[in-house]
Every structure is written in C-alpha cells, then in structure tokens.
A and B are shown apart, each in its own frame.
Chain A
C-alpha cells in the first residue's frame, strides 16, 4: 500500500478518534490503567533496586556483615520493600561474645555493631512512640554515609559520654525547637544530651530494619549499660584490613562464630553484595508478578477496544459501502480500521504514560521511594499499546473489510 494512502487513513483515524472522544476515552480507560500501573510498578522496582545498589556502594564492597542467621530471611520479606519495618523485627540476635570473637579475628580492622535498646525515649513532647534507640560506634556515619545537619556524630573522644544523635524526624517530633541541640532526652530515666542531628535519609536501608530518620543513636557502651549488657545486636559491620583476603576472612569469621555458638550457625557472615542479592531477587520476582497482574488490565483494555471497534464498524457500514463503491480494496478498509484501533490504544498508552508520570511524582513526594522510569519502559509501553490496537482491532477490521459493497451501501446510517 502506498504511503499517501496510509497518511490519509492516519488522518481519518485521528478525526474519527476525536469525533467520538468521550466514548473513546472510556474505552481506553483499561489501557490507561494497565499501562500506568505496569510503568509505576516497574519504576518502583527499578528505583528500589537502584537504592540497594547505592547502599552497597555506601557500605562498601570490602566490608562484611554479620547478622543473626534468621534475619537474612526477615529483612528480605516482601514487606521490607514498602518500608513498613517493625522496628524490632528480629527473631534471632547476636551476643556480646560474638562481638568479641569478631574483634579478635585476624584481618578484622573495624567492628561496628548496631544494637537496639528496648526502652522508651522521652523528649519535650512526651514519649516518642516511633523512636528506636540504637547503640553504635563512631565510624558508622562514614560507613552508612550519614551526614550531619547540626552538631557532631558520636565520637570516642567526646567529653560527654551520654550524648545522643537524633534522626531528622525524631528531632522534629520530640522537640518544638527548630534545632534542639543541647536539649535533654530521657531514656530509661537517664538523661542524654542531644549532640547532633542527622540529615534526612532518603535511602531505604534495606539491610537494616531501622529507619534512621526515627533513630536515637547512642554509644554502644551506653546502650549495653542501659540494657544491663543484654542489648540486642542485630547487625555488625566488619571492616577488613586487606580487601584481597575478603573471602578468606569471611570464612574464618564464620568458622570462629560457629565455634563460639556451639557449632551452630546462629550468626551468619556475608558479603555486603550478598545480603542484598536476596532482597533483589525477591524484589525482581515481586515486580514481575505485580507487572503481570497489571498487564491483565491491558488485555481487558484490548477487549474494550475490540468492542468499541465492532460498534464503530456496525455504525459505519454505510461509509464502508461508499468507500468500497468508489474503489477501496478490502485491504485498504482493513488497514484503515486496524489503524483506527491502534491510534485509539496508542492514545490510551500515551495517557497511561502521563498518568504513570504523575503517580511516580506523587510517590516521590509522599514516600522515601524514588521510582525510576526508564525510556525503555516508556518505549515498550507505547509499542505494546500499539500492538494491542493491532491485535484487538484486527477482528473488527476483518469484519469491515469483508463486507459486500452492495449490502454495506444499503445499510441505514
């Protein structure tokens, strides 16, 4: 078929699209919803994946992570993706002896524990219910790339032993002041002085079940005192002096820990990249699953387009008759109607992409997830929407093309 014929049919298609625009808008609603949800789901998945990668970069590829063996599964649970952590969702925990074993293992340069103190934190506004008291050590800020909004991070040289660093949200919620540096926080009735406030953390720290925006960071030793030496250690970051021996040190560490724990693998040592591999796998699977469900709505949208095209063919039988009488071939009629259907579904696809854009912007504003819409996904969505038009438009188009000219001409419009 010559291009000029196609251009003419394209023009007609657009005209038809606008001549019954309301009906068409309702028809392509399925496509709009389908396309936008597929894009949004993939964008969220992609965004979280990128955040995990960023985190790996931050924690460093030359570090090891020691976690309670069961924790690996808990942190990788589907709920983790939506950042709805229980603050203390661990079923197992590490002990002080584990910590000591790690420190003594050769090749280990730095040991930074993260422990949780199960005590209430009281600020000027009473008990901060979302607060979680975390005991850690200086050096964590470099490891997790935590930056300070005000004041300083925990320091081993600090004169004040009972100092506390507040997360951004905690600082705002617990005090009425803009910058509550020097204020007092009571944890288990012991006063702690606010020495620093963290900048907001947008990354979801997937490998830790703590939202640092809500955290009150105190020294590890203080945490152990508060909890009578029974503070739950849920994670220990291990810095390695010789990155080339990372695997050997990891195996040695695992062996030593197993020996301490009576030959049971209660603590598990893993590479930083490994810990996130699990969550990425599950995330991938979940993204595919949800995208698949959303794709069903595309099918439903396609059926809608088929219906409206069947109606259109019935309504325009007389027109088909006229076109055939003046010399349109079956193929020209076929292409015309397929083109109309694809224009319709493509328009739906474009609207879906716009809607997806709005939704992802909304997600960025409302949550800490940063969805990433890639051009490949947008291109694929456009092509798939055109394809849906071609597939579902072909049945009505065949019906139109096969009409006998004289019967079509007799049809009452």
Chain B
C-alpha cells in the first residue's frame, strides 16, 4: 500500500464503550485504522462486530470513548457538537441502509437540504440538487415524495443527497441492505463512479460479492479489525471468497458459543499479525485456532 504523507482518516487506539458498570459493552476495541484519500474500502463482519459504530465514529455522528481521530490532519475526536455538525455538512456524505429521506419533503428538497444548511440561495441549491439527481439518474422523480419511490430510487436520492455538498468522504452503511441484486449493482456502480472522481468511499456490506467494487477490505469482529486486505478491483476479496465458498461446518458447540460460520474462514496470517499488536484478541484467536485444530482432526 502506498502511503501518502497525510491520510484522510487516521484512527489511533480508538475505543467505544457503551453503558457503564456491569452493563458495559465494548463496541470498538483499540481500533487503529489509516485510510488514504481516494481509497474505496469495504467493511465486513458479522452483526454486532462494530462496523456501524466505527462508521458513525468516522462520520462524527458519535464520539470515541478513548483514542485519537485525525480527519484530514485535524483532530476531531473531541469536537463540540456544532463544530462536528459543520464538518459533517462540509466534508462527509452519509448514505444509510434505509435511505432516511424526510417524508415531508419531495426528492429535490431532500437532496437540497444539506445545501440549505450551508446557506445556499434557493435557486442555487435547487439547481445543484437537480444536477445531482440527473447524475444519479432519477431526475424524472424530482418532485415525487419518498413514499412514491422504489427502494433503489430512494437509495439513489440518498446518494444524491450525500454527494450534493461535494464531500471528501462518503460513508455508506449497508447502502444495498434493502435492495435486490440488480438494485445493489446499480448503487455500487454509482459509488464506483463517485470513487473514480476522486472521493474516498467507505462502505459496510454483508454481501461478499460487493467486495469486487472495493480496493481494500477490512474485516471486523467483536469491535476489532482482524483482517485488512488490499484487493484489485473486480475481484472478490480473499477473505470474502472464503466465506462465500467454504462449506459451513459449524458444530452445535459453535452455535452455543455464538461463533459465526465466517470465523472458520479466517486465514492464519492475518490473525497472527493482529495478535501481536492487540493482546485483547488473543481470546478470539485461540478460539479460532482450536476450531482449526478440530477441523484438521476431522
């Protein structure tokens, strides 16, 4: 991986703790992550592995409990609400699983909303929003209300809204989660196009196929990054491929322990790399090793 002097995202030892006392749960566990400008990163991992929490953290919707976060060289881990709102407005575009459009506004007004908060005049923001809707291919639905659109169209509108401010960073939390395969492809191709224009795109997915679009795949488990892989475009990432093609051989024991099928697919190397850095995950690692031994016995 080619490291440029200033990465767009630089997380150091970032942790997020929810709850307190006995009910404490560790959503993110000492995450270290560097994302360069122009990367197209896919985040994978089972539910509850902390992907969304990480996305919210990177997108400044949430604050880390510990650690430092440099966004474009500026420390943003301890900003006041208004400051982070302005950074969200100017440099980050969000795409959620459910499109999260405001039902009261029509598509055009929804897309123009971030511009409104920036103080653009009505005519200017209408023009920009209209152009953006044209780019995502739903300009014929400008004056429709969200309830009148299909899932794919909604997601296109949400992408248009995320892009209308021309943000440096696009964060998509399961953008294709509610879509069928054709819809997913459409959205991912749209994201690829955006990426080609020089934007940095982070997206969360459960679908291994979609790692084809990314040039880097990060795999998370239990709040930690346990695998980080650079892949050529058009190829399914190795780790994803394993999870796709490995025949599930989960035992009742695994079920009881809550171990995902995907856990069996982890390559040894990535685990050993991580284990040296992050002693907290020895437990996880041991579990997978024992499972592997069991498999080899079979």
Contacts and interface: CB of A to CB of B under 8 A. Distances in A.
Interface of A: 1-2, 4-5, 7-8, 12, 15-16, 19, 318-319, 322-332, 404-406, 409
Contact of A326 (B81, B82, B113, B122): B113
Which of A2, A4, A331 has the largest number of chain B CB atoms within 10 A?
A: A4
B56 A327 contact: no
Interface string B50-79: 000000100101100000000000000000
Contacts of A332: 117
Contact of A16 (B62, B104, B122): B104
A328 B85 contact: yes
B86 interface: yes
A325 B165 contact: no
Interface of B: 56, 59, 61-62, 81-82, 85-86, 88-90, 94, 96, 100-102, 104-105, 113-114, 116-122, 161-162, 165
B122 A7 contact: yes
Closest 8 CB pairs of A and B: A327-B89, A2-B119, A406-B61, A329-B85, A406-B62, A326-B114, A8-B116, A405-B61
Given A4-B119, A4-B122, A329-B86, 14 more contacts: A12-B104, A318-B100, A323-B102, A325-B94, A325-B100, A326-B94, A327-B90, A328-B85, A330-B82, A331-B82, A404-B62, A406-B62, A409-B61, A409-B96
B41 to A, nearest CB: 20
Contacts of B118: 327
Contact of B120 (A4, A12, A322, A405): A4
Contact of A406 (B56, B100, B119): B56
Nearest to A322: B100
Contacts, number: 76
Given A4-B122, A322-B100, A409-B61, A329 B82 contact: yes
A16 B102 CA distance: 12
Given A4-B119, A406-B61, A330 B85 contact: yes
A326 B120 CA distance: 15
20 contacts: A4-B121, A5-B119, A8-B122, A322-B101, A322-B102, A323-B102, A324-B85, A326-B89, A326-B161, A326-B162, A327-B85, A327-B117, A329-B85, A329-B89, A329-B117, A330-B81, A405-B61, A406-B56, A406-B61, A409-B100
Contacts of B105: 12
Which of B59, B89, B105 has the largest number of chain A CB atoms within 10 A?
A: B89
A199 B229 CA distance: 103
A327 B104 contact: no
A318 B102 CA distance: 9
Contacts of A329: 81-82, 85-86, 89, 117
Contacts of B56: 406
